[in-house]
Chain A
Amino acid sequence: GNSVTQMEGPVTLSEEAFLTINCTYTATGYPSLFWYVQYPGEGLQLLLKATKADDKGSNKGFEATYRKETTSFHLEKGSVQVSDSAVYFCALSGQGGSEKLVFGKGTKLTVNP
């Protein structure tokens, strides 16, 4: 079945550091890939997504590229801020849309001033 593996946390960085959170997936067909973010005390919200190979999703300075050859969707940001402290989830869905999402275990990011 479909599955998502993302790097174990927690990750602690200083402000303005470079961020990478690794995500790899196993899926049949051509899934869509997502990054969701969960700020403290809140529900998840979509950060970015990519629906086909070589697509790059981007939002709020975060980027991730759909790499079919390496089955990866790594999240990157060039300069993190304290306000980026949150839990980040990689997820995939089957072909067609977001009806059934499979989530990774989440990576907690803490950014210190």
Chain B
Amino acid sequence: NAGVTQTPKFRVLKTGQSMTLLCAQDMNHEYMYWYRQDPGMGLRLIHYSVGEGTTAKGEVPDGYNVSRLKKQNFLLGLESAAPSQTSVYFCASYPGPTTKRDTQYFGPGTRLTVL
């Protein structure tokens, strides 16, 4: 199993450009998450999904959109990038509360710089 993978690993954008970050998991997990990690701020939840076709807002959703058309994929979109969106983005998946392995599984991260 590859676990949770993220594409791309690095990206540099200019202000106003758009892009999509792809997260894929091969563990058949129901829940998926997008976080951003900023120095001194820990991880903050952007959006999450509790199943295919569902999405919900997290703590810092403004400026981002997401889609979960397939169970294994969770896409994070930036329609008009801003320098404040410079961050490291982590995707995570979670099997569900009734399973033994009660933890979220994280991808390796995408480092995004917006100039």
- List the B residue with the shortest CB-CB distance to A8: B40
Contact at B90–A105, with CB atoms within 8 Å?
Answer: no
Using C-beta atoms within 8 Å of the partner chain, give the interface range for chain B.
20 to 34
- What are 16 sample pairs from A and B whose C-beta atoms fall under 8 A apart? A41-B108, A42-B109, A43-B4, A43-B106, A44-B43, A44-B92, A44-B106, A49-B102, A97-B102, A98-B102, A98-B104, A100-B48, A101-B43, A101-B45, A103-B44, A105-B40
A44 to B108, CA, bound (A): 8
Main secondary structure of the interface of A (DSSP, over half): loop
Residues of B within 8 A of A (CB): 4, 31, 40-45, 48, 50, 90, 92, 94, 96-98, 102-104, 106-109
A100 to B42, CA, bound (A): 15
A49 to B40, CA, bound (A): 23
Residues of A within 8 A of B (CB): 32, 34, 41-46, 49, 51, 89, 96-101, 103-106
- List the A residue with the shortest CB-CB distance to B50: A99
Known: A89-B43, A105-B41, A105-B42. A99 touches B106 (CB 8 A): no
Q: How far is the CB of B112 from chain A (nearest CB, A)?
A: 15
